[in-house]
Amino acid sequence: MIKEYRIKNGYTQEELAEILEISPRHMQRIEADFQSTKIKMLIKIIKVLKIEDKDVIKMLKQK
């Protein structure tokens, strides 16, 4: 879901990683398996990508 919102917002993994102040490799890991991502980072991603509330809930239920 994060990947879809990243693409929808027109960011590459590298661009989003720079905005989030993380490495591109870390961004790849988050997209592959966000379950191990800390809540603080998820909040930053949600804000930057403007992820809708219903999708956040859906994402968290999958966790």
Q: Which domain holds residue 37?
A: 2-62
- The proportion of the chain whose per-residue pLDDT surpasses 70, expressed as a percent, equals 97
Query: For the chain, how many structural domains are there in total?
Result: 1
CATH number assigned to the domain comprising residue 42: 1.10.260.40
| Cα–Cα dist 9/21, whole Å | 18
Assessment of whether the complete model's pTM goes beyond 0.85: no
Q: What is the mean pLDDT of the chain?
A: 91
State residue 20's pLDDT score: 97
pLDDT digits (tens, 9 = 90+) for 8-37: 999 999 999 999 999 999 999 999 887 678
**Structure token digits, residue 31:** 């997209």
Q: Are 26 and 17 in contact (CB under 8 A)?
A: yes
State residue 63's pLDDT score: 59
**Structure token digits, residue 3:** 């990947």
State residue 45's pLDDT score: 96
